[in-house]
């Protein structure tokens, strides 16, 4: 898959209001692109994974988050960046149920698809309800519709990225107030 070609087709047929985002799961710090921003190093503070996603999709920045960069406990636990026993987990729908293996990945790189020079593990495209409906209708058949499952809003990115290794080729529309995301877990 050529990321630039995919981006061109998405922009031509889908016309998203923000950049499609490529997410790469990195196992070592030396895999980080030179221009990627690392919050603890470049901003001097921690951020949440949803903020990293927003910086990539709205501003076109490449942002890499690792264990020292994540402020959100559910994300840090779900992405396998910290030991669940060291942090207090939320109760109810925000509790992290599926997590990646602790320490398996050192960084999660969020980058706009048009400037990506790597094959993404996860592709996230935001759109309004009509755009997302058209993308779901365009899925290749046969598609297991049980893969179309809504997620709790606050833990959605953790759930999606952890599904990358748990359930390849997943699709997950995320409902919002007139605005949705359709991440596609690749590989």
Of the two residues 28 and 77, the one the predictor is more confident about is 28
Confidence label for 98 from pLDDT (cuts 50, 70 and 90) = low
Confidence label for 176 from pLDDT (cuts 50, 70 and 90) = low
The contacts found for 34-39 with CB under 8 angstroms, 24 or more apart, are 35/62, 36/62, 36/63, 36/64, 36/109, 36/111, 37/61, 37/62, 37/63, 37/64, 38/63, 38/64, 38/65, 38/66, 38/69, 38/107, 39/63, 39/65, 39/69
Give residue limits of the domains in the chain.
3-185
Q: Which residue in 173, 170, 157, 167 sits closest to 76, CA to CA?
A: 157
Of the two residues 60 and 157, the one the predictor is more confident about is 60
The residue written with tokens 């942002």 in the block is 63
- Could you tell me the two tokens for 164? 């990358």
Q: What's the pTM?
A: 0.79
Residue 163 has pLDDT above 70, yes or no: no
Query: Half-sphere exposure (CA, 13 Å, Cβ side) for 135?
Result: 26
Q: What is the mean pLDDT of residues 62-77?
A: 90
Confidence label for 162 from pLDDT (cuts 50, 70 and 90) = low
Please state, as a whole number, how many other Cβ atoms lie within 10 Å of the Cβ of residue 120: 24
Confidence label for 144 from pLDDT (cuts 50, 70 and 90) = low
pLDDT value at residue 24:
93
- Could you tell me the two tokens for 172? 């997950």
Confidence label for 69 from pLDDT (cuts 50, 70 and 90) = very high
Residue 166 has pLDDT above 50, yes or no: no
């Amino acid at each position: 898959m050529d990321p630039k070609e995919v981006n061109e087709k998405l922009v031509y047929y889908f016309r998203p209001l923000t950049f499609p985002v490529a997410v790469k799961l990195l196992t070592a710090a030396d895999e980080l692109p030179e221009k990627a921003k690392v919050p603890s190093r470049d901003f001097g503070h921690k951020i949440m994974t949803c903020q990293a996603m927003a910086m990539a999709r709205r501003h076109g920045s490449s942002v890499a988050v690792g264990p020292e960069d994540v402020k959100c406990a559910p994300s840090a636990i779900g992405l396998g960046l910290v030991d669940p026993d060291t942090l207090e987990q939320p109760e109810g729908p925000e509790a992290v149920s599926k997590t990646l293996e602790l320490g398996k990945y050192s960084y999660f790189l969020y980058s706009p698809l048009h400037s990506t020079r790597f094959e993404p593990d996860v592709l996230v495209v935001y759109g309004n309800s009509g755009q997302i409906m058209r993308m779901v209708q365009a899925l290749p058949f046969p598609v297991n519709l049980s893969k179309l499952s809504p997620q709790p809003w606050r833990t959605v990115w953790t759930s999606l990225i952890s599904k990358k290794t748990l359930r390849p080729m997943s699709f997950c529309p995320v409902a919002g107030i007139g605005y949705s995301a359709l991440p596609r877990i690749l590989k």
